[in-house]
């Protein structure tokens, strides 16, 4: 593992981390799902160690120095079980996936940190309907008393994801199974997963498939049920691009990796498997800012409109404008000289719904929906 520190806005190499008992084919940190970081702690799986029995290493930073503090092995070790293929931790809770266990049905092992700071095995978590080659536990995302688990092999690699909640007795109970609305029989839904409050992201990369990958977002409704929000796709992705192989959410920015995509940002200059990252931004897509949570210092008119939309404020000046489509893609981004009224040309856009992310000179943020008509 290579660790970088952010120094005055630049990422500077800090240190290289290896296991204290490093061995061939251990595959420390082999997948995006195999690593998690929180503050001064890095927990990373080595699922290939000892004939794919697997293990997990904990590194902690003390006085600026990273050191290995614990090695964790499966409470029920066996060859070819891939313990450590999925890792997620938060506070004193740690989840470790072992997706090859029990004929690749998969399982998750829950660990809890004791008073001495040592991780101890707590319980085993499995799907309510396990089947051979489900690969349950390849990806895991933990958020307080919520747990999201991917099983990308479910139903002949269509894939599925499972939601668990922790009850008052501390036991994790399955509450919902999610399935994709995919046109492909081999989509690997659940390859990567993320849950955060009432919002989740699940990737479906179509590994070695003929169709481009997809990333699904979900929101929890008033009854506590997870409901699909939308499907996010790249604007130029194709089959075997592995779009959704990895992703990361930071505030209202969702970054999706396609590690085998072949083109530059303009869809040109093809280079085989060079890889790309796609950045999406929109509160509605990402379950982030609501109209009540953001500033309302700006008005936009006319709306609907066919050619121009005017952005106006009596109390502040607009400084930055982002125009975003329903897929979360940024179509225009402008920095504006301080003005209380600005006219944005949208005559080149197709008919549909768009979003304006506006920032004032004083840093206030506002989001407005506009409708483009012919």
The pLDDT value recorded for residue 89 is 97
Domain ranges in the chain? 2-286, 299-372
pLDDT at 282: 57
| Mean pLDDT, all residues of the chain | 87
Q: What percent of the chain has pLDDT over 70?
A: 89
Q: b or e along 136-145 (b: 16 or more beta carbons within 10 Å of the residue's beta carbon)? A: bbbbbbbbee
Residue 288 has pLDDT above 60, yes or no: no
What's residue 331's pLDDT?
83
Least confident of 41-50, 233-242, 317-326: 233-242
> Exposed (0-12), middle (13-18) or buried (19+): which is 347, by Cβ within 10 Å?
exposed
pLDDT reported for residue 2? 95
pLDDT in tens, 27-70: 999 988 999 999 999 999 999 999 999 999 999 999 999 999 99
Helices (H), the chain: 49-52, 101-104, 154-157, 283-286
Task: Inform me whether the pLDDT recorded for 237 exceeds 80.
Answer: no
Radius of gyration of the chain (CA): 23
* Fold (CATH) for 299-372: Immunoglobulin-like (2.60.40)
Pairwise pLDDT comparison (299 vs 55), residue with the higher score: 55
Q: How confident is the model at residue 290 (pLDDT cuts 50, 70, 90)?
A: very low
User: Exposure string (b/e) for 15-31, b if CB count within 10 Å is 16 or more?
Assistant: eebebeeeeeebbbbbb
Q: Is the pLDDT of residue 289 over 50?
A: no
| Lowest-confidence segment of 78-82, 123-127, 159-163, 368-372 by average pLDDT | 368-372
CATH architecture for segment(s) 2-286: 7 Propeller (2.130)
CA distance 33 to 137: 10
Lowest mean pLDDT, pick from 20-24, 207-211, 241-245: 207-211
Average pLDDT for 5-18:
91
Lowest mean pLDDT among 4-8, 122-126, 275-279: 275-279
**pLDDT for the residue 277:** 80
Same fold, 2-286 and 299-372: no
Q: Phi/psi class of residue 259: alpha, beta or left (left: φ > 0; alpha: ψ in -120 to 50)?
A: alpha
* CA distances, 4 to each of 12, 68, 276 (Å): 5, 17, 21
Compute the average pLDDT of residues 246-264.
Answer: 80
pLDDT score at 326: 65
């Amino acid at each position: 593992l290579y660790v970088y520190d952010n120094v005055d806005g630049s990422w500077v190499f800090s240190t290289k981390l290896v296991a204290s008992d490093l061995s061939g084919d251990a595959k420390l940190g082999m997948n995006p799902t195999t690593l998690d970081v929180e503050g001064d702690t890095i927990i990373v799986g080595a699922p290939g160690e000892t004939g794919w029995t697997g293990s997990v290493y904990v590194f902690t930073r003390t006085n600026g120095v990273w050191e290995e503090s614990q090695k964790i092995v499966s409470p029920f070790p066996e060859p070819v079980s891939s313990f450590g293929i999925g890792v997620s931790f938060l506070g004193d809770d740690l989840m470790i996936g072992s997706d090859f266990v029990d004929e690749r049905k998969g399982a998750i092992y829950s660990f809890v940190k004791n008073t001495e700071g040592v991780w101890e095995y707590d319980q085993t978590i499995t799907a309510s309907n396990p089947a051979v080659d489900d690969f349950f536990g390849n990806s895991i995302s933990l958020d307080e008393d919520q747990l999201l688990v991917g099983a990308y092999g479910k139903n002949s690699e269509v894939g599925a994801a499972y939601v668990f909640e922790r009850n008052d007795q501390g036991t994790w109970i399955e509450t919902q199974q999610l399935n994709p609305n995919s046109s492909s029989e081999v989509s690997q839904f659940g390859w990567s997963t993320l849950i955060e409050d009432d919002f989740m992201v699940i990737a479906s990369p179509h590994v070695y498939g003929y169709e481009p990958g997809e990333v699904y977002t979900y929101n929890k409704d008033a009854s506590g049920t997870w409901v699909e929000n939308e499907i996010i796709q790249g604007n130029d992705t194709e089959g075997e691009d592995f779009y959704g192989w990895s992703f990361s959410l930071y505030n209202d920015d969702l970054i999706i990796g396609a590690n085998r995509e072949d083109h530059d940002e303009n869809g040109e200059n093809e280079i085989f498997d060079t890889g790309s990252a796609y950045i999406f931004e929109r509160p509605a897509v990402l379950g982030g800012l609501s109209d009540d949570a953001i500033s309302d210092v700006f008005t936009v008119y006319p709306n609907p409109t066919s050619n121009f939309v005017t952005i106006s404020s009596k109390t502040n000046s607009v400084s930055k404008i982002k125009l975003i489509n329903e897929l979360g893609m940024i179509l225009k981004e402008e920095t504006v000289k301080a003005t209380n009224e600005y006219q944005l040309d949208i005559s080149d856009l197709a008919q549909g719904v768009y979003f304006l992310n506006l920032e004032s000179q004083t840093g206030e943020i506002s989001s407005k929906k506009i409708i483009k008509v012919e």
